Structure formats: structure tokens, C-alpha cells
Amino acid sequence: MHNRIEKKFKELKDNNQKALITFLTAGDPDIDTSYDVVEQMINNGIDILEIGIPFSDPLAEGPTIEKASYRALASHTTTDDVFSLVKRIRENYDLPIILMLYVNLIYKYGIENFMKKCSEVGVDGLIVPDLPFEEVEEVKELAHDVNLLIINLVAPTTKSVRLKKIINKSEGFIYCVSSLGVTGERKNITTNLSDFYDRLRTETDLPLALGFGLSNKEQIDRLKGNWDGYIVGSAIVNIIALYGKEAPTHVGNFIKSLKD
Amino acid sequence: MHNRIEKKFKELKDNNQKALITFLTAGDPDIDTSYDVVEQMINNGIDILEIGIPFSDPLAEGPTIEKASYRALASHTTTDDVFSLVKRIRENYDLPIILMLYVNLIYKYGIENFMKKCSEVGVDGLIVPDLPFEEVEEVKELAHDVNLLIINLVAPTTKSVRLKKIINKSEGFIYCVSSLGVTGERKNITTNLSDFYDRLRTETDLPLALGFGLSNKEQIDRLKGNWDGYIVGSAIVNIIALYGKEAPTHVGNFIKSLKD
Amino acid sequence: MDKRFGEFGGQYVPETLMEALIEIEEAFNKYSRDSIFVKELAELFDTVANRPSKLYYASEMTKDLGGAKIYLKREDLNHTGSHKINNVLGQMLLAKKMGKKKIICETGAGQHGVATATIAALFKMECHVFMGKEDVERQALNVFRMELLGAKVTSVDSGTGTLKDAVNEAFRQWTREIEDTYYLMGSVVGPHPYPIMVREFQKIIGEEVRAQIEKIEGRLPDAIVACVGGGSNAIGIFHDFVDDKKIRLIGIEAAGDGIDTEFHAATISKGSTGIFHGMKSKFLQDEYGKIMPVYSMSAGLDYPGIGPEHAYLSSIGRAEYYPVNDREAVEAFEYLSKMEGIIPAIESAHAIYYTMKLAREMGKDKIIVVNLSGRGDKDVYQVARYKGVDLDAQ
Amino acid sequence: MDKRFGEFGGQYVPETLMEALIEIEEAFNKYSRDSIFVKELAELFDTVANRPSKLYYASEMTKDLGGAKIYLKREDLNHTGSHKINNVLGQMLLAKKMGKKKIICETGAGQHGVATATIAALFKMECHVFMGKEDVERQALNVFRMELLGAKVTSVDSGTGTLKDAVNEAFRQWTREIEDTYYLMGSVVGPHPYPIMVREFQKIIGEEVRAQIEKIEGRLPDAIVACVGGGSNAIGIFHDFVDDKKIRLIGIEAAGDGIDTEFHAATISKGSTGIFHGMKSKFLQDEYGKIMPVYSMSAGLDYPGIGPEHAYLSSIGRAEYYPVNDREAVEAFEYLSKMEGIIPAIESAHAIYYTMKLAREMGKDKIIVVNLSGRGDKDVYQVARYKGVDLDAQ
Ligand SMILES: Cc1ncc(COP(=O)(O)O)c(C=O)c1O
Ligand SMILES: Cc1ncc(COP(=O)(O)O)c(C=O)c1O
């Protein structure tokens, strides 16, 4: 023990605080801007950083993050560029860093190689949207060798039998999908979230972070009561899409508005 | 006896002459012009006049006469208009007049009615391209009642057995198709015409008139030796197509050139 | 062989064509009784045409209409997509036996042209197809199919640029090369022996229906419905049942914009007896016998005449003929697509529409068989255009 | 049920889809052993799909090439014009048993979309088809066919606007309405249980071939050839023969402009192992695992992956895979049209081309069976354009 993610959640809990986890796609619109965005996020008080590696076919994403992926690929961002970005961040900051990426990027890099590299640059965890619980073992073993956590997702559709199994094998925190569909901002979240929370909480003491569709402070405030953390992605990516290289300060302001 | 057609061929034979039979489509471009064309033809020495009644679907014709048909229909020429034309010609001239028409025009007019009308206005014979020997009886009987001849056609493809039958039942003259295909001028007539003539001549003493594709004096002169008459159609229709209402004198000149 | 059906039929063609017709008649007489020919044709029906075609119980349509049980005879599943292939196989085999090397034909919707080009390719015959200019436009898909199959397609712009003009032009061309060319007529029209010959090659449809419905239902149907252009798919399904007097035989003509307008092709409903395209039959013509321009959105029904045997069956009251207009045909086209997942040829859709009406009027204990003469892929562009959808913009 | 073929296969999808896949797997396990389901499906194969499809001896092609005897398995004569209908009937019946009311699917050439829209119409299911923008353009005929059949067609312009992007988008849509919607996958690709399930519904092709060739030739063929997009028609005809080790099983991939260019879709020839679209298999990807844009003029083969069972059969040497490029496919498209009067789907034309080469190399005593997976009506416009003919101007 202990991984930075686990430590962060413990620390927040001890202070009766919620984790603010924010996402950006690395290389959107270029790697240097991504670094600046990250600094703004950190300086404005985020707790955990989630960095997406761009992929040609991000099929779990809605149009917002999908387009970010295409922009990042257009600026020729590779997995190695993302490792360099993480390395640069890690040289200056100690917050937990999670990579979000599609399984093929790990597989093609060579799973073991990939994990080694993560460990070298200071990655703390991985979120792999197309690697469900049933297929995770092969990757997880090699991740653990280098003290890297694999964050499981659960969805409102996940049934009890599997939910138990998933939760039993979860680590760090559980990424709870707020509603059906792909990533993206949502006006209304129709899932009954307090039922969802209760179902989960009866099964585990692990931190529960809510993601998919969170876009502003009011929404987050409304949900804050229960969850241990909330993940904001598309709302940030939208700002980056709008302002491009000028995005860092705008993202900083947005994060500040969430924290106020 | 005798029908004008028969008399004309006898008269020509007695004088060792060939019959010049000329064709036009009535009503092309209008009935008055047709009358003037006919007068020019007669004044320049044709022996027999063949008048086509326009039809919507002249499937035995090449493009020249087909288009003449469409032009005549465009000026609303009906079968009754053609009868009036014949009547007007007959008031002034005594040469044999033959109508060329498709069988449906006869049938729809009422066969008996049609024949009566022919007789009234002074028609001497009918050429019905889509009424072959096998189907002619019904029409022929009613034609004979009013001393009207039905002119049979024979083609290079007509085989001996049928040729004999057709010739045995022929009257007036035999319309000998010079070569395969539809009406229209031809540069070359590939049928061996002297063989064709011989085949016919051994079977009958009836006048043999050659048609389809004759377009100028040299061509006719070359063929003259044997045949008792020649039919010139598309070459005249072409002049009418070219000069429209001004066609009569041009047709007259053309006929003169054939006679010289 | 009798050249006529009552007063209808005959052989009204230019002398240049007569010997060829006689030759065909003789060959047909000989080979249609020749056991090798019969066997070869049966084999071609099986291996090439994809026969027998299924008799399909249209359960959804039957349920939706709430009346008679409806069966569809699936000629649309034949190779090349319509009943036309049956006749083409018969005549092409005959032409081959006769030693012919060149085939010409007319086509309306293009289905006959495609079938002819297809079998000409297989039989290694030269193939020349005549198609009205307007039909070339509305059936562009079929034009390229024919060309792909190696056929020469001539667009005919004389007259009205539709099927009748294609026939005229094909006849003209035939007279030019009569000696080595076989004219492969696409329907039960034209001079004898075509109406009989084409019927004989199409009657397999009705023969199969008899066996199939006997097997499925244990009895014969109460009514048989088919669209009528020249009338080959209708005669094909009717023929075997003509002597079963209790079975209603119903032919559906194209009423275009409506039979009370000038724009239709409803020959039996609005035509009169005449002589055209080699046959005495019913035609749409004016008082002087001029053939009238006709109209139907369906290229295969857009013809001013009808086969002489239909004129005869109508005259003796054995078969009934009713008009169905463009709008109704499009409705049935969409109805069958959505109801059974079968896109019918727009020609066949005319028969479907009438069946929709008829089924509602008949009891649930009654059975209707409809000839689904062809598939509608060739028509989707045109129906889209009819409905105001611009496909090119998609 | 084993989720893998050797190392290939698996179930790599977002959590949101997992329960749906499990539900489908359980239903498939249950119903594929249920005698009523089996009987109903057999009946649908007969009455709706027009099965069995004929095994056609291509005598002219055989004669012309001078080598092995060639037989064509005529999946092109199925209702809707390709093998896709077999799988659609199987899955749609399953979806119905599962109580689903909505169907979504992807389509490349549009044949799977048309088949799905067709059976959705018949089964009264709501149907939503995703199709790449580029495919919408090159297969416009099929788009309107689907719409006619009542389906909603969504043109996907993300990514490369072809089949893989249609799959992405269909997956995305599925996650949004996972609870009442069945995703009807069109080939032996995607997460378990699709590759097995689609194979089970397509294996009828090979089973029929076995019975047919035994009957005609008294023996099994020496080689079986099929084109491979996702691989369903190939698996369908291979499966029954996998244990007959002497029979060569040959899959043909689309080489587009050539496998030495960047523009092809030859997954086995040029790809490497990866994980995408829910499965571990072979993919065209860059060194980092980014999926590469692929190209083939054939929309149905224009896919950067291949079914996991093919990856497996290739890895153990049981099946062979070769590339055929656009030019060669067009040559075969025209060859078969002119030689046998059969216009093949441009997908199938890839298999025909390889067969032309193979037949010449094999003795006259050998037999090749080719899967003619679909008909080419949908492709004539595109081939015309490829050859520089402007059809709109005609
Ligand atoms: C599918 C289809 N049905 C019907 C017809 C009409 O012809 P017939 O009346 O000879 O069956 C055609 C003609 O092209 C056709 O293509
Ligand atoms: C006619 C045809 N053949 C083949 C294919 C390729 O698919 P598969 O490899 O799954 O058979 C398609 C796909 O659309 C198709 O339409």
C-alpha cells in the first residue's frame, strides 16, 4: 500500500469531502495545451485527474469526446506522447492520475510493456471502457505487478448477481455510470440515482464516484449528498473544443465555479 | 374489267414502257401541299400514284416515311381527309390511284364502309403492308365488290411454296420488295435482283413492280431491264421533308429527272 | 395450330416477316412435342430460373385485411427477378435448336430485356434489346444490367418512346436481319405463334400453383389475380385453371392517372377491337384506328394493347379485367413492403391493390392467389420520385 | 458456451452492454435447443428466405476456364438477394421470443440492413439501421429499399463513414436504449455470442451444399471459396466442412487498390491481432492499435476486422485467406455476368475472381464450390461509375 487513488479517497473521507475528478483528452488540440489545461485544473483544486488517450473508434463516447479524440489524433498524439505528458505532470504534481483508454491500445502496446511504462511515468490507475469485468483478469494481473489499479464501471443495468461479483473485485473506487448511453452532457438524468446509490452502498464500502452527463455545479450539488466523488468530462471537453489553445484559463474558471 | 391499274400496265406494256409509281404521305406537311405535289407528279409523267394514309405506328417504314406519317398526323390528317384528297385528284385526273395504309385503319373504319368510300372517291387499289397473304381474304372479298384491287407484296425471303400461292392469287401487279428491311433509300441493294426477277417471272405474267430503296435515276436505269415498274417513295418524301410547302416544284423536278 | 382465340389473334405482319413466323411456328410445333426439348426446358426451369417458385402465404396481409386468405406466387424470386425468365428460357432454347445466333427483343420495364440478355449470355447468343426512351429513363438500373450482360440496348425515341414503339422498332430491325435473327417476344402478344407459344412457356406458373395450393389447402383457390400488360404473367397463372369455371380469373390493367383521364393503359376497360402489332385484339385507339398514346407509371404495363387470348377470355366472360391507377399501385407497393417485407414490382403492385379490395369483400373461408410477377428493386427510384423524395440528393 | 475460438473472440464491450449480451446468450442457448424454435426457423428458411438455395453448375465458366468444375451456391436468389437473410431470420425470431420490440443494426453494402428491415416489417418490429455516409452514397438503392420497408436509416458520418463507424454508432445507440432493443449483428463479428450465433444461423449454407453436391457429384468438393467481410457467408459455407480436412477452405478479402497500397481491407493478409468491436481478432491497425481507415469499392467488405473464428481458422492453418483487388473484382463481376448471365454482388465477385484463377490451376477432375453470397443489382451503378459510364446522363 498505498496507491495514490486510495490515499486520496481516504484523505477526502477523513475531511468529509467529495472527490472532483476531471477529464480531458490528451492532445486536444495539442499536447502542450493539454498540459496547461491540466495545470489550471490542478491549481483550481481538482482531486483526481483522468486523461483520455485518443482512439480512432471511441465507441463508448458521445459526440463530444469522440470529436476530441479525432482532434487529438489530427495532431498526431500517440500513446507515447501521453506517457510523456503524464511524466511532465508527475514531475510537478502528486495528485492521482488515471488513464482512460480503449483496450486495443493496451493490447497492441503489449500489456506488460504498457504497465511498465505507466509505472515509470507515474500513472495510478486505468479506466478501460471496453474491458468489462469478465475480460479484465489478464490485464489486471500485470497492472497489479506495478501497483496500478483498474477501475471497474457499474451501470444502472448491471444486475445484482454481477454487481456483487464486480464490486467484490473492485479496487480504488467504483465508476458509477449515471444513466444509460454514452458519455456526454445530459439535461436530465432519468436513472433513480438514490436507489442506485443504495444498491451499491449495501454491497461495498469502496468510494463510489458518479460519472456520465455531469455538466454544472447545480447538478453536482443536487447529487452531492451521497456519492464520494463526481467525474466531469464532456463539459470540460466542450470548453476545450470552443476555445482551443485558449482553453486553459477557461477550464480553470469552470473548475473554480464547481468548487465554489 | 377493267380496273385502271390493269389498264395502265397493259397500255404501258403495249408501248414497251415501264410504270413509274410514286408515293407520298397524304397530309405531309398538309393536305393542300399534298395535292400540289400530286399535280406536279402527274404533270411530270408518273404512271401510277400511291398515297399513304398516315398512321401512328407505321412499323413497316423506315425513318423517312415514319416521320412523314408523324408530320401528317401533326397536321391532323384523317382517313376522311385522304378520301377528300383522292376525290379532288380524281375530279381532274384519270391515272390509277392506290392507297397505302395499315390494316387497322381499314378495320376500324369498317371494312365495308372503307371499300364503299374508296369506290366513291375513285381509289383503284390498296397496299396494306401488315396484311399478308394469309390474312387478306376478309378484306379482299369486300374490296372486289367495289372493283378494288389488293396488291400483294413478295419479298426476297418469300419461299417458293408461298410464292406460288401468293402469285396465284395476285391481281393488278406484284409489289416486289427489293431487299430486306423497311422502306427507305438504300445506297446498295444487296439482293440478287435478276435471280429474284427470274424466280417471279417463271411463275407469273402479272406485271412486277420493284420497290423499297429506289432513290435516283441511275439506280433505276440499272434495274430497268427486267421489271415492269418501279416504285419511288422515300426519295420523294425526303424532298417533301426538306422543302415543306415549297416541295411541289422540287418534287416535279425530281420526277422529271427520273423520266429524262 | 389454330391461329386464333375466337376472332382474336392472327398474323398481321409485313410479308418480310411471314416466312420467319412460319419457321418459328414449325419449330415450336416440332420441339414442344419433342421429349428432349421438354426435358431440357424443365431442367433450365429448375437450374436457371430457380423454379418452382414458392407459393407464399401472406399471413400479415391476410390478418390485416380480415377477409380471404391471400397467397402470393413468388415469381419475384426467379433468377433476374420476374416471370419473364420462363418465356425467355423457352424461346431461347427454341432459337438455339433452330440454329439462330442473334436475338432481338423489345422491353418495357426492362425485365424482359434483362431476362433475355441473361439467357443470351448463358447461351452465347448476340442480343439486341429495344427499349422506349422514356422507359430507358425510368428503368435505368435495368438498362445497365442488360449492358453488363453483354446486350446492346437501343433507346427508341420515335412515337411515344415507350413499349409499343420499342416493339415497332424491334420489328423494323427484325426485317433487316430476318435470316439469322430470332425475335424473342416478351409477352402473349404479337402475331401467331407468339401468343400461344409464350403462354405455353408461362403456364408452368399456374401448374405449380395448382399442385402447391392442393398440397397446402387441399383445394383450389376461389380467385386468381394478376396484372396485365401484354398479359403473359396473367395467362401464365390463369391457363391451368381456365376449365375450372368456378375460379374467378382477374386481370388488372394500369389505369395511370385514372380511366376517366387521357392518361391510362386500360385496354379492356376502355379499348376497342383492332389489328395491331400482328394481332387482332383490343387496343386503345381513336375513331380512325390510330393507336393512342398510353400512360402508366409502370413501364411494364404501359402498352395500348393486350394479348388476344385475354381479349377472348374477356369477350366470353371467362376472365374479368379491372383498372388500378398509379396512386393505388403505389399504395399497394408500400403496403406490401411494410406488411410482408416484400417489395413488389410496380406492375405486380397493381394486382396487389385489387387483391386488397377483393380480400376484404370475401369471406375468411375464401382463398385468393395473386401472381407476384416481379420484384420492385427496379422501381424504388421511380416510386421515390413519385413521392417527391430526391434520391440523388441523399 | 465457449466464448473463444482459441485465443480469439471474447466479449470486450462497455459495462452498459454486458447484461444485454448475457441475456442474448442465455436466450440463444435456450432456443437453439428448443424444438419449436428450430422448427419455426426451418419454416422461415423455407417460406421466407426461399431456401434451399440452388447449387448451380457453372458450365460455361467451367468450359471457358478449362479446369476444375465450378459450382455456385446461389445465395443471390434468396429473398432480399443475399445470404444475410438467414442470420436475420434466426436472430429476429430469437428477439421476438425474447419479447423485444425494437431492432437496431449496422449495414455496409446495405444487404444486411435490407434483410433486417424486411424481416422487421414482417415481424412488426421497429427497425433502426446505421450505415456509413459513404455507403449510403454508393448503395443508394438499398437505402431507399430499407426506408420503403419502414426502417429508419441513420447515415453515420463520424470516422471514415463506412461499416466500422456504422457499428460504432449502432453500439452507441444500443447503450441508450438497451432495455427494450435487440442489436441484430450482421456478421460473425462483435462480442460473444454473436460470432457463434450468426454462424449457427448461417451454417445451413454448407449443410445444403453437402447434400446437394453429394447428390449431383456423389462426392464432396475439393475447395470451397467465399468472400470475407466480417465472414458470415464464408463461415456459413465452411462450417459443415471444417472437419473434412481434405477440403480446402478459402476466404477472399478485399484488396481495394492493392495490398501494397494504403487502400485495402485485407485483414488477414496485412492485419495483426487486436481487440475491437467486442472481440479479439485480426485487425488493420497502426503500431499503437489505432484502427486504420480501410478501403474497398465493395461496401460489404470494407471493414478493418474479421470474425474471430476466421482469425482462428487462419492461425491453425485450416482455412486460407487471399486478397483480391477492386480491378479484379470488377473483372469477375463482368465475367460472370457475360459468361453465365448472373450478375454477382461485388462482394461475391471477389470470390469469383479467385475461383477463376484457382479453377485454371486445378484438374478437370476437381470440384470447386463458390458461395455466390448476393446479387449485384445494388452494384451496377457503382461498377458503371468505376468504368467511367455516367448513368445519370443516360
Ligand atoms: C414484373 C412484371 N410484371 C408484369 C409485366 C407485364 O407483362 P405481362 O402482362 O406480359 O406479364 C412486366 C413487364 O415488363 C413485368 O416486368
Ligand atoms: C452480398 C454480400 N456478400 C458478402 C458480404 C460480406 O459479409 P460477410 O463476410 O459477413 O458474409 C456482404 C456484406 O454486406 C454482402 O452484402
Q: How do residues A111-149 score in pLDDT, each as one tens digit?
A: 999 999 999 999 999 999 999 999 999 999 999 999 999
- Hey, are the CB atoms on D149 and C341 less than 8 Å from each other? yes
Residue C297 touches partner D, C-beta closer than 8 Å: no
Q: Are C386 and C138 in contact (CB under 8 A)?
A: no
Residue A49 sits at φ, ψ, to 5 deg, of -110, 130
- Tell me the H-state helices in D66-130: 84-97, 111-123
Q: Which helix (H) or strand (E) holds A217?
A: helix A217-224
The residue whose C-alpha atom lies closest to atom 5 belonging to ligand 2 is D300
Question: Contact at 8 Å (CB) between C368 and C356?
Answer: no
* pLDDT tens per residue across span B51-101: 999 999 999 999 999 999 999 999 999 999 999 999 999 999 999 999 999
Taking residue A159's Cβ as centre, other Cβ atoms within 10 Å add up to 11
> What does the pLDDT read at residue C389?
65
* Chain C residues in contact with chain B using a Cβ-Cβ cutoff of 8 Å: 10-16, 18-20, 22, 158-159, 164-165, 167-168, 171-172, 175-179, 272-278, 280, 283, 285, 287-292
**Residue A125: DSSP 8-state:** E
What SS3 class is residue C318?
coil
Ligand nearest to the CA of C228: 1
Mutation target vs C (from D136, D343, D372; most C CBs, 10 A cutoff): D343
Q: Which three cell numbers stand for residue D54?
A: 440452388
| Closest-CA distance of chain D to residue A45, Å | 30
pLDDT of residue C261: 96
Provide the residue ranges of all domains of chain B, joining segments of one domain with +: 4-259
Mean per-residue pLDDT over chain C, rounded:
96
Cβ separation D144–C57 shorter than 8 A: no
CA distance linking residue D171 with residue D159, whole number of Å: 14
- Condensed to tens digits (0 to 9), the pLDDT of residues A183-222 reads 777 777 777 888 999 999 999 999 999 988 787 788 878 7
User: Is 60 exceeded by the pLDDT of residue C394?
Assistant: no
3-state secondary structure of C82: strand
Whether the CB of D300 sits within 6 Å of ligand 2:
yes
In the block, cell 443495468 appears at A157
CB-based contact, D331 to chain C, within 8 Å: no
CB contact under 8 A, D11 and A132: yes
Residues with Cβ within 8 Å of residue B81, at least 6 apart in sequence: B26, B27, B31
Q: Which of C106, C134, C208, C309 is catalytic?
A: C106
Distance of CA D378 from the midpoint of ligand 2 (Å): 13
B159: three-class secondary structure by DSSP: coil
Check pLDDT > 70 for residue C390. Answer: no
Q: Which of C86, C105, C111 to mutate to test ligand 1, by most ligand atoms within 8 A of the CB atom? A: C111
Buried b (16+ CB within 10 A) or exposed e, B111-149: beebbebbeebbbbbbbbbbbbbbbbeebbebbeeeebb
Nearest in space to D168 (alpha carbons), one of D176, D159, D180, D181: D159
Closest chain D CA to residue C120: D341
Ligand 2, atom 10: closest residue by C-alpha: D232
> Which member of D81, D341, D384 has the closest CB to residue C122?
D341
> What ipTM was predicted for this assembly?
0.94
Quickly list H helices, C149-228: 163-176, 194-202, 204-217
The answer on pLDDT for C387 being more than 90 is no
CA distance D241 to D18: 33
CA pair distance D341, D59, nearest whole angstrom: 12
Among chain C residues, the shortest Cα distance to B108 is held by C289
Which residues touch D61 (CB under 8 Å, ≥6 apart)?
A: D70, D335, D336, D339, D340, D356, D359
Active site residues of D: 84, 106, 373
Query: Quick check: A111 contacting D, CB < 8 Å?
Result: no
Beta carbons of C295 and C257 less than 8 angstroms apart: yes
> Given an 8 Å threshold on Cβ–Cβ distance, is C338 in contact with D150?
yes
Contact list, C275 vs chain B (CB under 8 Å)? 103-104, 107, 130
Q: How far is B189 from chain C (nearest CA, A)?
A: 12
Contact B130 C275 (CB under 8 A): yes
Q: Low-confidence residues of chain D, pLDDT below 50?
A: 393-394
Calculate the alpha carbon distances from D132 to C287, D136, D156, D164 in Å.
Answer: 58, 6, 5, 8
Cell (9 digits) for A31: 499536447
CA nearest C17: which of B211, B133, B68, B231? Answer: B133
Q: How many residues does chain C have?
A: 394
Q: Cα of D39 to ligand 2 centre, how many Å? A: 26
Residue to mutate, D82, D139, D250, ligand 2, most ligand atoms under 8 Å from C-beta: D82
Angle, vertex CA B229, rays to CA B224 and CA B235, nearest 5: 85
Lookup: cell for C85: 425468365
Q: Is the dihedral of CA B175, B177, B183, B186 positive or negative?
A: negative
Residues of C in contact with B136 (CB under 8 A): none
Residues C80-102 have pLDDT tens digits of: 999 999 999 999 999 999 999 99
Whole-number pLDDT of residue D389: 65
Main-chain dihedrals φ then ψ at residue A64, nearest 5 degrees:
-60, -55
Give the atom of ligand 2 at the shortest distance from the alpha carbon of D228: 9
Cell 383490343 belongs to: C282
Instruction: Calculate how far, in angstroms, residue D226's C-alpha sits from the geometric centre of ligand 2.
Output: 10
The CATH number corresponding to A4-259 among 3.40.140.10, 3.90.1570.10, 3.20.20.70, 3.90.1150.10 equals 3.20.20.70
Task: Report the nearest-CA residue for atom 4 of ligand 2.
Answer: D347
The residue nearest atom 10 of ligand 1, judged by CA position, is C232
Chains in touch with C (3+ beta-carbon pairs under 8 Å) read B, D
Give nearest CA residue, ligand 1 atom 7.
C229
Task: Report whether C180 contacts C69 (CB < 8 A).
Answer: no
Average pLDDT, chain D: 96
Does residue D227 sit in helix, strand or coil?
strand
What's the CA gap between C115 and C373, in Å, rounded? Answer: 13
A36: nearest Cα among A253, A257, A255, A249? A249
pLDDT > 90? residue C57: yes
D102 Cα–ligand 2 center, Å? 23
Considering every ligand atom shown, identify the ligand nearest to the alpha carbon of residue C75 and give its number. Answer: 1
Q: Chain C closest CA to D215's CA: distance in Å?
A: 14
Stretches in chain B below the pLDDT threshold 70: 1, 224
Distance, in Å, from the CA atom of C386 to the CA atom of D350, rounded to the nearest integer, reads: 36
Ligand minimally distant from the alpha carbon of residue D162: 2
The tens digit of pLDDT for each residue in D261-289 reads: 999 999 999 999 999 999 999 999 999 99
Q: D274: which chain A residues are within 8 Å (Cβ-Cβ)?
A: 104, 107-108
Q: Percent helix, strand and coil across chain D, each rounded to 5?
A: 45, 20, 35
List subunits contacting chain D, requiring 3 or more Cβ pairs under 8 Å.
Answer: A, C
Residues 6+ apart with CB under 8 A from A136: A128, A150, A152
Which domains are delineated in chain D?
A: 4-45+83-198 (3.40.50.1100), 52-81+203-388 (3.40.50.1100)
Note whether A199 contacts D: Cβ–Cβ < 8 A: no
Cis? peptide before A129, omega within 30° of 0 = no
Average pLDDT over residues A238-256: 97
Residue B151: C-alpha distances to residues B25, B124, C26, D363 (Å): 18, 10, 27, 66
Number of Cα atoms under 13 Å in the Cβ half of residue B64? 21
Q: Please identify, by atom number, the ligand 2 atom nearest to the C-alpha of residue D81.
A: 1
- Residue C144 sits at the chain D interface (C-beta within 8 Å): yes
Give the nearest partner residue to B104 out of C172, C179, C276, using CB atoms: C276
pLDDT of residue D394: 40
Q: Is D248 helix (H, G, I), strand (E, B) or coil?
A: strand
**Separation in Å, CA of D289 to nearest CA in chain C:** 34
Task: Give the CA-trace dihedral at A42, A47, A48, A54, to 10 degrees.
Answer: -40
C84 flagged as catalytic: yes
B interface test, pick of C15, C282, C287 with most B CB neighbours within 10 Å: C15
**Set of cell numbers at residue A204:** 461495498
Neighbouring chains to A with at least 3 Cβ pairs closer than 8 Å: D
Ligand 2 atom closest to Cα of D107?
A: 14
Give the span between the Cα atoms of D253 and D238, in whole angstroms.
15
* Closest approach atom of ligand 1 to CA C76: 1
Among C351, C366, C249, C335, CA closest to C301: C351
pLDDT at D390: 55
Which pLDDT value is given to residue C393? 44
Q: Is A159 on the interface with D (CB under 8 A)?
A: yes
Q: What pLDDT, on a 0 to 100 scale, did the predictor assign at position B179?
A: 82
C-alpha closest to that of C265 among C163, C375, C139, C388: C163
DSSP 8-state class, residue B216? S
Rounded Cα distance, D8 and D307, in Å: 9
Output the nine-digit C-alpha cell for D165: 463507424
